[in-house]
Amino acid sequence: MGVAVLPRVGDLVLPLAQGFQSPGLFFPTRMDCRMDGCAIGSNGSGSKSCGPLSDYRIPDYILKPDSERVIVDNAPSCPVVVFINSRSGGQLGSGLIKSYREVLNEAQVFDLSEESPDKVLHRLYANFQRLKSNGDLLAIQIEKSLRLIGKKNPATDQEAVKSFLGLVKEAREMSIDSWHIIMRMRVPQEGPCDPIAPLELPHSLHAFHRVTGSDELNVEGYHTFRGGFWNYFSMGMDAQVSYGFHSERKKNPEKFKNQLSNQGTYAKLGLKQGWFAPSLTHSSSRNISQLAKVKIMKRPGGKWEELKIPSSIRSIICLNLPSFSGGFNPWGTPGTRKKQDRDLTAPYVDDGLIEVVGFRDAWHGLVLLAPNGHGTRLAQAHRIRFEFHKGAADHTFMRVDDTSAHTRAYTHLYETFEILRRHIILRFTKSP
């Protein structure tokens, strides 16, 4: 339930000292919970207590500028700020929020359906600056060690929360790529210029925004929009079904009370919209090659090359982390000969490359359930560009990092859509 898209392998964690634009990833191992506290099992080699909860709690005056300043004996060793999507997980997110607020200070746990992370963090960072300028040593210490958590939990009870907090405390830093999405359209002579149809969704750290005239990405004669992702970006039928699901959940939240019914609704939408078989009535279910010309740049400073997309591919995924749609790895592990024949390298999260994978339909996606199952490996690229064919379709659907962004973009309004590696960020992984 939250920003993270890794229900099987991870949760989102950020050191604010590294810049709150750059959340980090934490990979937990087996967790053993006990009534007298929390213990972390590391490959069965022993356990470590998560320690006192005061290690994670942040005083009110640090979080709320109008709160009265208090004296704290010791600074928390692992202060955290938590963001949770209360609508996700069959509405179980509200239970998770309740548990976190009971375990921590209520003011350090935020609901993504109510507040945007960037606004919360800007507000928090501004208060840090104010307190630091007044010589507040506690604020200085907390800022240096603060972690941001976007939680995706299989359980919502307090013991599960304490277990995860212990894992966060034991985490260490690692490098990981962050990717930016750039959309450009010529300035229209008349009519609207915003290519994104609004859909109320949980707030995320990577929302789409139109860049200002002074931004380095701005190009004269064009409107430029910028977004981004850490996990994956997808375009096509899978994003269309996901968009439909979130639209339906927004209109009828009472029908989405548990994960089983959610999965049933998802399957029905897939059938209705043609994800299991090409639809003659839905033009938006056309294949990717009909929609756009796809170009890739394999290495920094290289030339743009056209990527040949098989006519059967109706969904394309640009993957940074090896986790998609429930924790599956759609790239898989290519054999040695295939790597040599296609000049593929082993994928790493900090190698400046994204893996580009295609799927024909939902039946094709079922191969991920099999051992070594994978989608159609299209390419590894440092950058990728989609040049939309004029008149090919009125709009297309895009999905970014699962629930963090779903958009319906009007392809007749803009011409190019580009993904590029912006910078390396720091994430967290389990200590050895």
Which pLDDT belongs to residue 276? 63
127: pLDDT strictly greater than 60:
yes
Q: How many Cα atoms sit within 13 Å of 25 on the Cβ side?
A: 23
Which pLDDT belongs to residue 394? 67
264: pLDDT strictly greater than 60:
yes
430: pLDDT strictly greater than 50:
no
What percent of the chain has a predicted confidence (pLDDT) above 90?
12
Mean pLDDT of 126-147: 85
The answer to whether 391 touches 410, Cβ cutoff 8 Å, is no
Strand duo 109-111 + 80-84: pairing? parallel
More confident residue, 145 or 421: 145
Lowest mean pLDDT, pick from 53-62, 95-104, 183-192: 183-192
User: What band does 122 get if pLDDT is binned at 50, 70 and 90?
Assistant: confident
pLDDT digits (tens, 9 = 90+) for 81-115: 888 877 766 567 788 889 999 999 999 999 887 88
Thinking of the domain 177-424, which architecture would CATH place it in?
A: Sandwich (2.60)
Lowest mean pLDDT, pick from 35-44, 225-234, 296-305, 348-357: 35-44
More confident residue, 20 or 375: 375
SS3 content of the chain, % helix, strand, coil (to 5): 30, 30, 45
Report the distance separating Cα 355 and Cα 179, nearest Å.
12
Q: How many Cα atoms sit within 13 Å of 208 on the Cβ side?
A: 25
The answer to whether 226 touches 180, Cβ cutoff 8 Å, is yes
189: pLDDT strictly greater than 80:
no
- The residue ranges of every structural domain in the chain are 11-169, 177-424
User: What band does 178 get if pLDDT is binned at 50, 70 and 90?
Assistant: confident
The answer to whether 350 touches 177, Cβ cutoff 8 Å, is yes
The phi, psi pair for 259, rounded to 5°, reads -70, -30
Mean pLDDT of 66-75: 83
Which pLDDT belongs to residue 353? 93
Which pLDDT belongs to residue 389? 81
Within 10 angstroms of residue 151's Cβ, the number of other Cβ atoms is 25
pLDDT digits (tens, 9 = 90+) for 290-349: 888 999 999 888 999 999 999 889 889 999 988 887 678 889 888 888 888 888 888 888
Within 10 angstroms of residue 363's Cβ, the number of other Cβ atoms is 11
